[in-house]
Amino acid sequence: MEKLLQQACKEVESAELFRVKSKTVPVNFEVNRLKSIDISESEGKALRVINKGRIGFSSSTGSEGFDLIVEKAAATSEFGSEASFDFPEEAKRSKKIKINIYDKKVEDKSIEEMVKIGEGIIEKVGDFNRRLRCDVTIVKNCNEIEYHNSRGGNFSYSKTAIAYSMMVQKIKNQDMLMIYSSIESGKDNLDVEELTSEIIENLEWAEKIVPVESWKMPVIFTPKAALVLILPIISGLNGKMVLKKISPLAAQKNKKLWSDLLTLYSDGTIDFAAGSAPFDDEGVEMKRVPLVEKGEIKNFYYDLQTAGRAGVESTGNGLRASSQSEPVPSISNLVMEEGKISFSEMIKDISEGIIIDQVLGLGQGNIISGAFSNNVQLGYKIENGKIVGRVKDVMIAGNAIEELKNIAALGNKAKWIEGKYKFPHIYLKSLPVSAKK
């Protein structure tokens, strides 16, 4: 790779080369049966250059000549954004030197073993009810990342991930019930029971359909549904949105905006979490970055370029969506601090309200304004402190920036979602709910 960089630097002033080699093996079960096994190998290179103070970028996959990427990167730098940073001279960790993100047992896991895990999951849920449709995916992934820049900064690491995910579907006349659940880790330590017990619990609650009146009522978001409220916040705290003054949170730093209960941090140093790594995708050390503390915004998150423009330091959040992308400010892992109340205590506290577990239309609409409006795809009605059944044809709507001022309580058992978000249950005092008459 260093040779390639030298080649690039004949054409441009400085350059950075990012390479990802990846192998992903998903084993898919559909309608309770093993359906397909894929082996997906990929390799991609991305070249970012700074030339005459401007940024250029090109990428390629496969064995295409490197000359072409250099030529294209140099060509794009002619019009590129003005660089407000230099490539880091070294990639070095100061705190928490070793972050565990690789487990050989994941890489070595045999396809036969993965098939057995999937069969086991289907068997367990089948024992509860034989008439369900179960789709299961067991997937393992191994990434090798390599980074070099012409100022001397370089690093490389390997990272593993394994995930079990399941969709259970039950159809009765024209009613379709769908429940999703998944667990993910960098380490081969996943517990099938965690996945299946959640599904079975939901199936029990969902047995009966009950009516709801349109009204403002108390609502509990499960960790799985918490993104409804948190996605707008993630988007509003993005340094780029702040810099461009698109974010309504831009002028709110160090101001008390939300409930005392709300503490959020981005943390790329958590062992075996999906967003963890020693460095972000441009050689800056990954850190724990407090974003919100006790309802007060403490930091926005940045990559090098955005930080340079804003006149602050990168927070180590310069991540690439793929080997074909430039770094942009992104969340590594996002953790919301737990509260003190258990989920069952929250339920007991509510005389009439709903639990929201899955929604349609997540991230749809004018997210940056904080607005959300979702169909409750899976939700439950609470009456007099008890779950009485499932709700249908119900919409929720509100503004996350406003609603988070009225947190009644946070759960005391946070759960990892998609391997990178850790959220507790969020109990809101009241939220508008509209139901079909």
Partner 1 sequence: MREIFEKALKNKKNSADYIEIRTEKKETTTIHFQGKKLEKIDCSQQTGGNVRVLVKGGWGFVSFNHFDDLEEKVREAIEVASLIGKEESKLAIISPVVEIINRELDKDFRQISLREKKDLIENYNNIIMKSNLLIQSSNVIYTDRFSTTYFANSEGSYIEQEKPFLSARFTAIARGEGDNVQLASESVGTTRGFKIMERISTKAQKAAFRAVNLLKAQPVEGGEYTVILDQTLGGVFIHEAFGHLSEADFLYEDERMSGLMKLGKKFGSPKLNVVDDGSIPDLLGSAKYDDEGVRTKKNYLIKDGILAGRLHSRETAVKMGEGPTGNARALNYRFKPIVRMTNTYIENGEIPFKDLLSGIKKGIYAKDCYGGMTTFEMFTFSAGEGFMIRNGEIAEPVKDVVLSGNLFATLLNIEGVGNDLKMIESGGGCGKAGQGPLPVSFGSPHLRIKKVVVGGK
Coil, strand or helix at 24: strand
d(CA 379, CA 394): 9
Applying CB under 8 A, does 194 fall inside the site for partner 1? no
d(CA 51, CA 79): 10
Applying CB under 8 A, does 40 fall inside the site for partner 1? yes
Applying CB under 8 A, does 61 fall inside the site for partner 1? yes
Applying CB under 8 A, does 321 fall inside the site for partner 1? no
Applying CB under 8 A, does 432 fall inside the site for partner 1? yes
Structure-derived torsion over alpha carbons of residues 383, 387, 393, 399, reported in degrees to the nearest 10: 80
User: Do residues 235 and 225 touch, judged by C-beta distance below 8 A?
Assistant: no
Site for partner 1 in 241-260 (CB under 8 A): 244-246, 248
User: Do residues 163 and 28 touch, judged by C-beta distance below 8 A?
Assistant: no
β partners of residue 359: 376
β partners of residue 350: none
Applying CB under 8 A, does 30 fall inside the site for partner 1? yes
Applying CB under 8 A, does 6 fall inside the site for partner 1? no
- The distance of closest approach from Cβ of residue 351 to partner 1 in the complex, given in angstroms and rounded to an integer, is 22
User: Do residues 289 and 265 touch, judged by C-beta distance below 8 A?
Assistant: yes
d(CA 427, CA 329): 29
Applying CB under 8 A, does 311 fall inside the site for partner 1? no
Applying CB under 8 A, does 365 fall inside the site for partner 1? yes
- The distance of closest approach from Cβ of residue 399 to partner 1 in the complex, given in angstroms and rounded to an integer, is 9
Applying CB under 8 A, does 52 fall inside the site for partner 1? no
Coil, strand or helix at 116: helix
Tokens of 271: 């062992």
Among 2, 271, 344, 360, the residue binding partner 1 under the rule CB under 8 A is 360
Closest by CA to 299, choosing from 259, 248, 247, 239, is 239
Site for partner 1 in 65-104 (CB under 8 A): 68-69, 72, 75-76, 78-81
- The distance of closest approach from Cβ of residue 422 to partner 1 in the complex, given in angstroms and rounded to an integer, is 23
- The distance of closest approach from Cβ of residue 74 to partner 1 in the complex, given in angstroms and rounded to an integer, is 10
- The distance of closest approach from Cβ of residue 315 to partner 1 in the complex, given in angstroms and rounded to an integer, is 20
Applying CB under 8 A, does 117 fall inside the site for partner 1? no
Amino acid at 236: G
Among 35, 96, 151, 288, the residue binding partner 1 under the rule CB under 8 A is 35
β partners of residue 343: none
d(CA 424, CA 341): 10
- The distance of closest approach from Cβ of residue 278 to partner 1 in the complex, given in angstroms and rounded to an integer, is 26
Kindly tell me which of 296 and 337 has the beta carbon lying closer to partner 1.
296
Closest by CA to 167, choosing from 157, 179, 177, is 179
Applying CB under 8 A, does 326 fall inside the site for partner 1? yes
- The distance of closest approach from Cβ of residue 64 to partner 1 in the complex, given in angstroms and rounded to an integer, is 5
Applying CB under 8 A, does 123 fall inside the site for partner 1? no
